[in-house]
Amino acid sequence: MPTNPADGPVLGTLYGSDAMRAVFDEQTYFQRMLDVEAALARVQARLGIIPPAAAETIVAAAQAANLRTEVLAASARNVGYPVVGLVAELSRAAGEAGAWTHWGATTQDIMDTATVLQVRDGLALIDAELQAVLAALAGQAETHRHTVMAGRTHLQQALPITFGLKCATWALPFISHRQRLAQLRPRIEQVEFGGAAGTLASLGEQGIAVMEGLATELGLAIPPAPWHVCRDALAEATAFLGLVCGSLAKIATDIILLAQTEVGEVAEPYVAGRGASSTMPQKRNPIASEYILAAARSVQGLVPVMLGAMAQDHERATGPWQAEALALPQAFVLTHGALLHTRAIAEGLVVDAKRMRRNLDLTNGLIVAEAVMMGLAPVLGRAEAHHVVKHACDVALTDGIGLAEALERDPAVSQRLDRPAIERLTDPAGYLGSTQAFIDRVLAAARPQRP
């Protein structure tokens, strides 16, 4: 039974995804190690290092179904690594050809390269969801580009914005995340093959040829030298996931705040029973956003583990390397789950434009005080305009009237502007600055680039 809720058959539905768990499943990991062993045999046969017939037999036997779990467990418990048991099982399944398995390799070569293969698959899943989230947010930005709402700073109403601009702001980091991912993948997706201490001495003059052939066979990049104690790439992958989760957490935080009963401007997509309370039938809790926040905090807590694991002693680490296996898979699983939650929210978000307008009008026009001041400044001068608008705000608050009415009472304003002009000046939709241009710029950046 799993002890981490993210891996359980019930709670795992909230924290992760079956697709990502399948990538990092223990059975998959052993198959990826066998894939590396099979690729190594094929390359060495081509180079004349091992007999071609032996390589064919090894490749055919390199199936996880040929491994006995109890044997692997006993070996790992005794040796401290799974590869000794894996090679023994592969050799058994290959019969006489088994004498040629794992030729010139070392445990970490097989494990690290298998991990890279898993990370490659994991990043592909992450990239697909980044694209989907970006597309959904871009769609919401376009749909709501003219839906005026209150912009908030320090949790207080500040100036009018549109919900489309908010969605465009949510989308903006995902443009960068996709760029980051494209840039970091070549640094991560590299073969690891260095032998016992990074010299490939056991393969004589053919060590580099085997390393290059293995990389080509597995579709991985060729590093300048073995990186078995250079862990920056895997740390970077995890840090990247932490950045993604930070952007997801920002969206989730905004959704939770906007969904409060007293605000009520947006809600997560409605599904019968979703976010229900066991005692309060009226509740529709922002449950997906809550799990996004939980996942984000966990992933960001795993980033220091991977950064700390970079301090690897000499030519083979005594502890830091083993810590990676505790952090890397969970970071991928939790990030993918958070992305799926975010995608569902972004694609099905319920937006209450009327409530946005009502909330915008809560201050009776005070939210556009800056707009009025800037509009009156060319007529009255900036200092006088500031004084007039400040006085009008005080009157509006004291007498419980709108800013437009308070301005109309002031002769300094009413002698220069009629009521329709004052109402235009106090219309929140008229003080949106470069909102539409900013939305256009984000949407343009978010469009898939043609080669």
- CATH of residue 409: 1.10.40.30
Going by pLDDT thresholds of 50, 70 and 90, the confidence category of residue 8 is confident
How much is the average pLDDT of 426-450? 90
Pairs from 19-25 (Cβ < 8 Å, separation ≥ 24): 19/125, 19/336, 20/122, 20/125, 20/332, 20/333, 20/336, 20/337, 21/333, 23/118, 23/121, 23/122, 23/125, 23/332, 24/118, 24/122, 24/328, 24/329, 24/332, 24/333
How far apart are alpha carbons 130 and 245 in whole angstroms? Answer: 11
Domain contains 82: no
Domain contains 426: yes
Report the pLDDT value the prediction gives residue 273, as an integer from 0 to 100: 55
How far apart are alpha carbons 103 and 50 in whole angstroms? Answer: 8
Domain contains 128: no
Range of the domain at 385: 364-430
**Where in the sequence numbering do the catalytic residues fall?**
154, 277
Tell me the pLDDT of the chain averaged across its residues.
92
User: What is the percentage of the chain residues whose pLDDT exceeds 90?
Assistant: 74
How far apart are alpha carbons 249 and 270 in whole angstroms? Answer: 20
Domain contains 193: no
> Going by C-beta distance under 8 Å and a sequence separation of 6 or more, which residues neighbour residue 210?
40, 43, 44, 47, 49, 104, 193, 200, 203
Residue 272: pLDDT over 90: no
User: What domain count does the chain have?
Assistant: 1
Domain contains 408: yes
Domain contains 374: yes
How far apart are alpha carbons 270 and 284 in whole angstroms? Answer: 8
Domain contains 423: yes
- pLDDT, one tens digit per residue, over 296-352 is 999 999 999 999 999 999 988 888 889 999 999 999 999 999 999 999 999 999 999
Domain contains 385: yes
